[in-house]
Amino acid sequence: MYNAKAYSAASATSPLASSVIERRDPTGKDVQIEILFCGVCHSDLHTARNEWREVFPTMYPCVPGHEIVGRVTKVGSDVTKFKVGDLAAVGCLVKTDGTCPECQAGLEQFCHNMTLTYNSPDAHTGKVTYGGYSDSIVVDQHFVLHVPKNLDLAATAPLLCAGITTWSPLRHWGVTKGKKVGIVGLGGLGHMGVKFAHALGAHTVVFTTSPGKTEDALRLGADEVVVSRNPEEMAKHIASFDFILDCVSADHDINAYIQLLKRDGNLTLVGAPEKPLQVAAFGLLFGRHSLSGSPIGGIAETQEMLDFCGEHNITADVEVIPIQKINEAYERLLKSDVKYRFSIDMASLKSE
């Protein structure tokens, strides 16, 4: 075991503060990574404040962070995929059982025995897993990704959650050239959905409640922007979409988007509204429409996404902050006051 610097929450009401945590020494298949940047996901805030206590109670101290980019500093004797000095990334998963049908299919995100990057029981230490708000991490090589050298590292970090969360359903539902795709919401997830849909060749339409976001949506790659509060604008698109990616976590009328689908069109949720959405059965019945949800992606799919980003020079739009501003960043997240993701420069932790 060795000590690592981190920022952690001691309780649901405590601000994140400087702390020291224990990490395991690398075993045979482990990779030790010096963390250079860590993205800030809204789930970090939810977990730190124990807001998902009913289904996912937080164990304290809590070190959030599952959008990790860094450089390999040590490798175990059995590691074949990485060497010291390589750029590397870690997302939301650090362990699964590897034997279930989901793991065997390369869909580790659906494994029922997964260990999350933080706030999961840690079989190695007997405590809890600690995330990327830290100066280093040790992870089994299977769950470590290669980072294309041409990408900006600060802007790459959010790809490990926001990126794969939007990439996975776009790929699963066959988004490609000739398809008409809608992206609902232009935030941390939505802005990545726009970039990916555009790069995949789809005619990309952004739905937003804010007319002021039109210019930015077009800059990110949208072909059209629809203000969803305008019934006339919405009516122009009835029964015309192959696929719609809904990135909104606030309560909203999902039926307004279902009616925009073509026959056999699909709407996938990646946002997670707190309250159940009301879905009209007839909207699904007529047109054989489908409604689905999607979490992150498997390890191979995440690597595919990073490679695609390297080929197309795609990264997240980020605001880089020092770790000392993380509590302020959480408050700004609640106000949607960021375009479009925070990325922590972990070099700032050295001054603690």
User: In CATH, what number is assigned to the domain containing residue 85?
Assistant: 3.90.180.10
> Which position has the token pair 């005619």?
203
Find the domain containing 204 and state its range. 163-293
Q: Say if residue 288 is in the same domain as residue 308.
A: no
Last residue of a domain, one of 293, 312, 328: 293
Mean pLDDT value of segment 211-216: 94
Last residue of a domain, one of 261, 293, 325: 293
Write down the pLDDT at residue 352.
83
Classify strands 341-345 and 30-40 as parallel, antiparallel or unpaired: antiparallel
Q: Say if residue 314 is in the same domain as residue 250.
A: no
Write down the pLDDT at residue 273.
85
CA-based nearest residue to 40, from 120, 140, 160: 160
Structure token pair of residue 57: 């109670």
Position 135 pLDDT exceeds 90: yes
Provide the domain count of the chain.
Answer: 2
pLDDT tens across 215-255, in order? 999 999 999 999 999 999 999 999 999 999 999 998 999 99
Mean pLDDT value of segment 82-96: 98
CATH code: domain of residue 259? 3.40.50.720
343, exposed or middle or buried, with CB in 10 Å at 0-12, 13-18, 19+? buried
Work out the pLDDT band at 55, boundaries 50, 70, 90: confident
Phi, psi of 124 (to 5 degrees): -80, -40
